[in-house]
């Protein structure tokens, strides 16, 4: 069976997040009337001015817009914060922390922010760049002697910046499958060497393990672990008292909002995402109030409360374009660009925006949009799997700031964009079994131990007239259903597999007719899903 590239929720959400923004100019603390200022450079000019009072009117409209989003989306809870001109001007919660319980969300409720973590990581690395501990062009192998990719030439040259801009050549979401199966961070990062590489620095594939590798190198150069560095470099200096890179800290917060999956049209608190393996890419938890403090610092070129937290010259590369993610879908579409952990772009007004979305299918949807020329940003956090609701609210606010009106139903627009992203995965998803399948061999013929260098051992057991597949340190076990001949299928429901996903397992025979291989569709996106029988 040829390798299949299976879609991933987070990959497509990343593409949607890039759609929030498109173009690049340096982050500058300019007057909101920049469009009328003849002294600014041509690339900084905006098509429309922001009149006095327009930002305040946009903030005043947020209560009504957030309540409408809650009603139309069915989200359990939502927290929204706005930073403008260096201070938090709005922070409010809506709905409940957990379905079936009365505790309400407020501005201090802690959410998992998912991939917004990448922007925070970019900020932390910028702080270390400003202190001369690393540079954006520092090769990660300099500080991680165990690190290797499949190409030794790339191994020696891939830099912190390459990994943060997703231009290392690593495959889309490389390593996420190992994390899902319970492998620890070091093992996942070491096994990236088995992934084939796309062209270095000319291809863009969104990953979680790329930024995680960059963060590990920066932490090693700093003489500490990544989680402690985040506390010391950013969270404590900004007074982000609820923020952490550790899942245990999130679990310990009394005022926290656990995740809810949307199953059969209803949000339900079924499973909690534990993202410690990719802490730098998706492991931050924080309140809306604390995220507003971080936005204020970014929007003031690294300064907060009158002091420099991150050197402006070190922050600038993170928030400006470093990579073109890919071809736009139409000649009329503005391109989206990638910084180091930030999406960099522009809206119809011509104003530069910084943005990123975050999502856990297990129950988190988050986003932020910052408009540097207006020194204004909004962050929206939710405890429900992604539906486009948070992006719609953020974009509606951004339009009110820039134009004084909302030009379209953004929640509907992003909802339609994201609907295919949450569709079941797999060649056989939604298909009926064959009416006259070829018979399988006796189940004992398939049973045994198989292995791959990347995934390690896989065990097929024949018990109670059925086959089961067990894999990984978490001993994830799946019941196989016969489909046709030597083909079986099993259902999945996890962070990378939306409801209704089914994976094929194709068993292959050797010259003597005995089963020698098992190819698992769901884990074969990079051609690594072939398991060979072992003694």
Q: Which three-class secondary structure string do you get for 349-383?
A: CCCEEEEEEEEECCCEEEEEEEEHHHCEEEEEEEC
User: Over the range 107-133, which residues count as b (16 or more CB within 10 Å of their CB) and which as e?
Assistant: bbbbbbbbbbbbbbbbbbbbbbbbeeb
The whole-model pTM stands at 0.92
pLDDT classification of 427: cutoffs 50, 70, 90: very high
Q: At what angle do helices 288-299 and 116-130 cross, to 10 degrees?
A: 50
Range list of β-strands (E), 85-190: 87-95, 110-112
If asked whether residues 404 and 520 sit together in one domain, one would say no
Cβ contact 116:291 at 8 Å: yes
Q: How far is CA 148 from CA 47, 190, 203, 340, 419, in A?
A: 47, 7, 19, 21, 37
Average pLDDT over the chain reads 92
In a domain, 385, yes or no: yes
Q: At 77, is the secondary structure helix, strand, or coil? A: strand
Task: Give the pLDDT confidence score for residue 370 in this predicted structure.
Answer: 98
Cα angle at 278 between 135 and 521, to 5 degrees?
120
Question: What pLDDT does residue 348 have?
Answer: 83
Residue 321 lies in a domain: no
pLDDT of residue 37: 66
So what's the pLDDT on residue 36?
A: 56
Mean of the pLDDT values across residues 454-473? 96
What CATH number corresponds to the domain at position 218?
A: 3.40.710.10
pLDDT of residue 326: 81
Where is average pLDDT lowest: 7-21, 40-54, 353-367, 406-420? 7-21
| The pLDDT value given to residue 20 | 40
Q: What are phi and psi of 230, to 5 degrees?
A: -60, -45
Q: Is residue 3 part of a domain?
A: no
* Any domain includes 294: yes
Segment (H or E) for 498: strand 497-509
Question: Of the candidates 422, 453, 474, which is a domain's last residue?
Answer: 422
Q: State yes or no: pLDDT of 8 exceeds 80.
A: no
The closest alpha carbon to 324, from 201, 418, 431, belongs to 201
Average pLDDT over residues 367-392: 97
Binned at pLDDT 50, 70 and 90, residue 35 comes out as very low
Same domain (yes/no): 179, 281: yes
Q: Let me know whether 455 and 376 are in one domain.
A: no
State the Cα–Cα distance between residues 27 and 43, nearest whole angstrom: 12
**In a shared domain, residues 340 and 454:** no
pLDDT tens figures, 189-228: 999 999 999 999 999 999 999 999 999 999 999 999 999 9
Digit-coded pLDDT (tens) for 65-91: 999 999 999 999 999 999 999 999 999
513-527: burial string, b at 16+ Cβ within 10 Å, e else: eebbebbbbbbbbbb
Report d(CA 224, CA 228) in Å as an integer.
7
DSSP label of 233: I
One domain for residues 455 and 348 = no
Domain tally, the chain: 2
Range of the domain at 466: 443-533
C-alpha 205/C-alpha 429 separation (Å) is: 25
Residues of the chain with pLDDT > 70: what percent?
A: 93
Res 346 pLDDT > 80: yes
Is residue 429 in some structural domain?
no
pLDDT of residue 142: 98
pLDDT of 221: 98
Each residue of 219-257: pLDDT tens digit?
999 999 999 999 999 999 999 999 999 999 999 999 999
Residues 415 and 491 in one domain: no
521 vs 264 pLDDT, higher one: 521
Q: Is the pLDDT of residue 446 over 70?
A: yes
Within-domain flag for 155: yes
Q: How far apart are CA 182 and CA 172, in angstroms?
A: 19
Q: Are residues 342 and 451 in the same domain?
A: no
Tell whether 30 and 109 lie within a shared domain. Answer: yes
Same domain, 352 and 501: no
Higher pLDDT, 37 or 525: 525
Domain CATH number, residue 482: 2.40.128.600
Percent of the chain scoring above 90 in pLDDT: 82
Phi–psi pair at 93, nearest 5 degrees: -115, 155
Residue 41 falls inside a structural domain: no
Look at residue 153 and tell me whether its pLDDT is greater than 80: yes
More confident position, 476 or 11: 476
């Amino acid at each position: 069976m040829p390798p299949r590239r299976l879609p991933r929720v987070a990959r497509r959400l990343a593409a949607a997040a890039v759609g929030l923004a498109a173009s690049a100019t340096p982050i500058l603390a300019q007057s909101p009337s920049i469009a009328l200022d003849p002294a600014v450079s041509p690339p900084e000019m905006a098509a429309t001015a922001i009149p006095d009072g327009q930002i305040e009117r946009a903030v005043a409209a947020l209560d009504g817009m957030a309540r409408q989003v809650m009603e139309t989306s069915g989200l359990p809870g939502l927290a929204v914060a706005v930073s403008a001109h260096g201070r938090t001007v709005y922070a409010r919660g809506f709905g409940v922390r957990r379905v079936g319980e009365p505790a309400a969300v407020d501005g201090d409720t802690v959410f998992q922010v998912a991939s917004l973590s990448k922007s925070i990581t970019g900020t932390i690395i910028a702080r270390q760049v400003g202190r001369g501990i690393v540079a954006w062009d520092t090769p990660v192998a300099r500080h991680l002697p165990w690190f290797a990719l499949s190409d030794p030439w790339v191994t020696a040259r891939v830099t912190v910046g390459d990994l943060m801009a997703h231009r290392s050549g690593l495959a889309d979401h490389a390593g996420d499958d190992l994390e899902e199966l319970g492998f620890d961070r070091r093992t996942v990062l070491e096994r990236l060497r088995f992934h084939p590489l796309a062209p270095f620095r000319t291809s863009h594939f969104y990953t979680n393990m790329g930024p995680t590798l960059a963060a590990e190198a920066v932490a090693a150069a700093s003489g500490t672990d990544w989680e402690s560095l985040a506390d010391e470099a950013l969270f404590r200096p900004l007074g982000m008292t609820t923020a952490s890179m550790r899942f245990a800290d999130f679990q310990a917060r009394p005022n926290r909002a656990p995740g809810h999956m949307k199953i059969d049209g209803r949000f339900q608190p079924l499973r909690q995402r534990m993202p410690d393996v990719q802490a730098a890419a998706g492991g931050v938890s924080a309140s809306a109030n604390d995220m507003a403090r971080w936005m204020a610092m970014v929007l003031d070129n690294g300064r907060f409360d009158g002091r420099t937290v991150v050197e402006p010259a070190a922050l600038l590369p993170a928030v400006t374009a470093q990579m073109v993610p890919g071809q736009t879908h139409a000649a009329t579409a503005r391109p989206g660009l990638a910084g180091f952990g930030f999406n960099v772009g522009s809206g119809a007004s011509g104003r530069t925006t910084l943005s990123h979305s975050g999502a856990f299918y297990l129950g988190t949807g988050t986003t932020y949009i910052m408009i540097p020329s207006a020194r204004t940003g909004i962050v929206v956090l939710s405890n429900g799997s992604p539906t486009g609701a948070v992006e719609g609210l953020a974009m509606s606010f951004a339009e009110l700031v820039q134009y004084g009106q909302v030009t379209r139903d953004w929640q509907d627009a992003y909802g339609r964009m994201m609907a295919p992203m949450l569709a079941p995965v797999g060649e056989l998803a939604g298909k009926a079994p064959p009416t006259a399948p070829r018979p399988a061999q006796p189940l004992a013929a398939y049973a045994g131990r198989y292995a791959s260098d990347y995934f390690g051992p896989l065990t097929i057991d024949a018990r109670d007239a059925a086959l089961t597949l067990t894999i990984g340190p978490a001993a994830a076990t799946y019941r196989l259903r016969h489909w046709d001949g030597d083909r079986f299928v099993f259902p999945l429901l996890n962070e990378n597999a939306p409801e209704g996903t089914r994976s094929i397992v194709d068993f292959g025979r050797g010259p003597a007719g005995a089963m020698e291989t098992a190819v698992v569709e769901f884990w074969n996106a990079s051609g690594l899903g072939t398991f060979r029988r072992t003694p």
